[in-house]
Amino acid sequence: MSDEIRLFVEREARLLDQMRYEEWVGLFLPDARYWVPVSLDQPSPEAGPSHFHDDIQVLMVRTHRLANPRAFGAEPSPRTVHVVSGVTWEEDGDAIVATSSQIMLEYRNRGNFDDDTRLFGGQVTHRLVRREGALRIAHKRIDLINAEGPFNAMLAPL
């Protein structure tokens, strides 16, 4: 099972890097949430604003938009590569809580030389549940080490 969870977390990141967004959104349960807090001590998305606090509909719009030629903010599209490391997990009732360290390197060719490449990094927490034999994401939280920001435009999901 350890292998299965590690492979799941790695595959999720790989789908983003390969821009296979429909498959990526398909990993989330219909009532799932995707959350990037603005502080490492933010207890919940209800306590204040977030960088991302997406339900499945917002994830759908976001990824649909990345494929749209008039999405100026994504023109040209960001390319990313995730490095996933140190996946550990524990059971929490019916769910599995997996944590990993992740670094995402992002590149958008805007003619600004080295400034076109950015690094994001932090701890990623997946709450996974099994549905019809397959693991699905009930909740994904990304605690960026620089959560307090500020950030320039973030197009690619982390």
Contact with another protein (CB under 8 A): which of 11, 53, 79, 136? Answer: 53
SS3 49: coil
Is 23 a binder of another protein (CB under 8 A)? no
**Which range in 10-18, 32-40, 89-97, 122-130 contacts another protein by CB under 8 A?**
32-40
Q: Which of residues 74-113 bind another protein (CB under 8 A)?
A: 74-75
Q: 135, 129 in Cβ contact below 8 A?
A: yes
**Cβ-Cβ contacts under 8 Å for 23 (sequence gap 6 or more):** 15
Q: Name which of 26 and 48 has its Cβ closer to another protein.
A: 48
Helix (H) or strand (E) holding 83: strand 79-92
Is 51 a binder of another protein (CB under 8 A)? yes
Tokens of 91: 């059971």
The residue behind tokens 């649909």 is 64
**Shortest distance, position 50 Cβ to another protein, whole Å:** 5
Q: Name which of 46 and 91 has its Cβ closer to another protein.
A: 46
The residue behind tokens 């960088």 is 51
Q: Name which of 110 and 130 has its Cβ closer to another protein.
A: 110
User: Residue 80: which of 129, 34, 16, 10 has the closest Cα?
Assistant: 16
- Which residues contact another protein (rule: CB under 8 A)? 36-39, 42, 45-55, 57-58, 60-62, 64-65, 68-75, 148-155
